[in-house]
Amino acid sequence: MGNSRNIPDIVVGRLPVYLRALSLMLAEQCEYTSSHELGERLGISSAQIRKDLSHFGEFGKQGTGYNVAFLHEQIRQILHVDREWPMAVVGAGDLGRAIVHYRGFVPRGFRVVCVFDNKPERVGEEIAGIVVQPMEKLAEELSAKNVQVAMIAVPLEAAQDVADQLVQAGVRAILNYAPINISVPPDVQVQYIDPVVHLQHMTFYLK
Amino acid sequence: MGNSRNIPDIVVGRLPVYLRALSLMLAEQCEYTSSHELGERLGISSAQIRKDLSHFGEFGKQGTGYNVAFLHEQIRQILHVDREWPMAVVGAGDLGRAIVHYRGFVPRGFRVVCVFDNKPERVGEEIAGIVVQPMEKLAEELSAKNVQVAMIAVPLEAAQDVADQLVQAGVRAILNYAPINISVPPDVQVQYIDPVVHLQHMTFYLK
């Protein structure tokens, strides 16, 4: 997970959350904001936000705070989402279909460009204009489409095998929806969609 | 988001992550661990972990560290997942179906007990043994099954309306899969499944 600037990964992980809040502020036509206001919205202390941002530069002005559009653009560049990342989805079942139809990717720097499944009856099916390919085509397609980012939407028993194939095909970042930990080489990123983490966060507050 | 003990919400949000790591250690037959080892696994500093846990009590012993099973059980109790929370899913499309079939809930304190959809052709359909109910049955079913936790898996245009109906029916915690912010009263919890936050976290490390 290391990078040349030695920024703690937990700090990097908060930048997309700041970016999401700033996008919302942009949509609300806010011109300026402060670490205090951002913190209020996110349930994070303003000191934490200032400290996190200070790893990357000086973005605010004393007195006026942060220009929302400027800070938004700076964080987009820092996270490398001032471009569009082509993505692969493996698994064309209910979950894979839902992911391909998800409308949250394109406005924030990502686009699903190919879908794979190992079930012959799913191959050739079209999902949101994308034809499902067999797993045998994975390496060829990913290379042709310059795909470095992939999502795993297969049953948990198959997740590690799929991860291995993705890494072999040159994928450098994997978002795993299956409820199981996967192993990858140290130079490959993995993140998990884990709904239970969010549910348990909320039940803390319930009786 | 307040609670009587005034624990920062960001700290509460890390407890499920600690719990997940501890579950994995239990599965690996680890008997003892340390804030250092936990921190290494999670990319969080050991000081942060000790500080977070100190809000809730004294769980470690000097020299031996934390007993994995004990700390695991304590955090389960703190998060109120030493029981099973019945959950509702609204939306029986691809995503709703995938959620109902998800095998990660039951081992960690949650079980989907009812599914709703407003499309007549989906009502009566059976998903993993659960019959899809019409939205008109929402309040009655949630009350009968004592459901306080719900997941929204409808198109983004319908998410706010569904959230309003859930709150009206007594739901206190909502996990929203739709890529849109929803408004709820201050005594209702909301969390979001946001794959882009995870993707942007990873693209930071990509060229």
For residue range B7-54, what is the model confidence (pLDDT) as tens digits?
988 899 999 999 999 999 999 999 999 999 999 888 888 999 999 999
Query: Cβ contacts (< 8 Å) between A98 and chain B: which residues?
Result: 93-95, 98, 153
For the question of an ipTM over 0.90, the answer is: yes
Of B101, B148, B193, the CB nearest to A193: B193
CB contact under 8 A, A10 and B44: yes
Residue A63 is encoded by which pair of tokens?
């007195």
Chain A's closest residue to B97, CA to CA, is A94
Of A44, A101, A197, the CB nearest to B17: A197
Domain boundary among A34, A57, A78: A78
Of A148, A156, A204, the CB nearest to B80: A204
Maximal CA-CA distance, chain A = 62
Region B115-124: mean pLDDT is 98
CB contact under 8 A, B181 and A24: yes
Instruction: Based on the fold, state whether residues A97 and A53 are members of the same structural domain.
Output: no
CATH number for the domain including B67? 1.10.10.10
* Domain tally, chain B: 2
- Say if A207 falls within a structural domain: no
Domain boundary among A78, A100, A116: A78
Instruction: Based on the fold, state whether residues B31 and B59 are members of the same structural domain.
Output: yes
Region B126-139: mean pLDDT is 98
Examine the pLDDT at B2 and tell me if it is beyond 60: no
- Cα(B34)–Cα(B65) distance, integer angstroms: 5
Instruction: Based on the fold, state whether residues A189 and A132 are members of the same structural domain.
Output: yes
Instruction: Based on the fold, state whether residues A74 and A91 are members of the same structural domain.
Output: no
Region B168-176: mean pLDDT is 98
Q: Which residues contact A29 (CB under 8 A, 6 or more apart)?
A: none
Instruction: Based on the fold, state whether residues A61 and A90 are members of the same structural domain.
Output: no
Spatial CA neighbour of B80 closest among A35, A202, A50: A202
Instruction: Based on the fold, state whether residues A90 and A192 are members of the same structural domain.
Output: yes
Instruction: Based on the fold, state whether residues B102 and B129 are members of the same structural domain.
Output: yes
- Say if B206 falls within a structural domain: no
- Say if B136 falls within a structural domain: yes
Residue indicated by tokens 């989402």: A81
Selected for mutation to probe chain B from A127, A184, A200 (highest B CB count within 10 Å) is A200
Examine the pLDDT at B1 and tell me if it is beyond 50: no
CB contact under 8 A, A43 and B8: yes
- Say if B43 falls within a structural domain: yes
- Cα(B168)–Cα(B148) distance, integer angstroms: 11
CB contact under 8 A, A201 and B16: yes
CB contact under 8 A, B1 and A205: yes
Average pLDDT score, chain B: 94
CB contact under 8 A, B3 and A175: no
Of B17, B78, B102, the CB nearest to A204: B78
Q: Report residue B5's pLDDT band, with 50, 70 and 90 as the boundaries.
A: low
- Residue B23: its pLDDT value, please? 95
CATH number for the domain including A149? 3.40.50.720
Distance in Å, alpha carbon of A82 to nearest chain B alpha carbon: 11
Region B58-75: mean pLDDT is 90
Output the CA angle A10-A14-A15, nearest 5 degrees. 120
Instruction: Based on the fold, state whether residues A100 and A192 are members of the same structural domain.
Output: yes
Chain B's closest residue to A189, CA to CA, is B202
- Residue A5: its pLDDT value, please? 65
Of A15, A110, A204, the CB nearest to B12: A204
- Residue A62: its pLDDT value, please? 75
Residue B57 is encoded by which pair of tokens?
């009590």
- Say if B202 falls within a structural domain: no
Domain boundary among B49, B78, B107: B78
CB pairs under 8 A between A and B: 200
Query: Cβ contacts (< 8 Å) between B156 and chain A: which residues?
Result: 103
- Say if B205 falls within a structural domain: no
Instruction: Based on the fold, state whether residues A188 and A103 are members of the same structural domain.
Output: yes
Region B90-110: mean pLDDT is 96
- Cα(A42)–Cα(A9) distance, integer angstroms: 19
- Say if B163 falls within a structural domain: yes
- Say if B101 falls within a structural domain: yes
Q: How many CB atoms lie within 10 A of CB B60?
A: 19
Q: Report residue B3's pLDDT band, with 50, 70 and 90 as the boundaries.
A: very low
DSSP bridge pairs for B85:
B110
Domain that holds residue B91: 85-196
Distances (CA, A) of A202 to A206, B174, B192: 7, 8, 11
The residue ranges of DSSP E strands in chain B, in sequence order, are 32-33, 60-61, 65-67, 85-90, 110-117, 126-127, 130-134, 149-152, 173-176, 189-192
The phi, psi pair for A111, rounded to 5°, reads: -150, 130
Instruction: Based on the fold, state whether residues B25 and B125 are members of the same structural domain.
Output: no
Region B64-82: mean pLDDT is 96
Instruction: Based on the fold, state whether residues A132 and A64 are members of the same structural domain.
Output: no
Distance in Å, alpha carbon of A137 to nearest chain B alpha carbon: 24
Instruction: Based on the fold, state whether residues A153 and A51 are members of the same structural domain.
Output: no
- Characterize the bridge pairing of strands B126-127 and B85-90: unpaired
Q: What is the pLDDT along chain A (207 residues), one digit of tens a residue?
A: 444 468 988 899 999 999 999 999 999 999 999 999 999 888 888 999 999 999 999 898 777 899 999 999 999 999 999 999 999 999 999 999 999 999 999 999 999 999 999 999 999 999 999 999 999 999 999 999 999 999 999 999 999 999 999 999 999 999 999 999 899 999 999 999 999 999 999 999 998
- Cα(B188)–Cα(A175) distance, integer angstroms: 29
Distance in Å, alpha carbon of A119 to nearest chain B alpha carbon: 17
Chain A's closest residue to B94, CA to CA, is A94
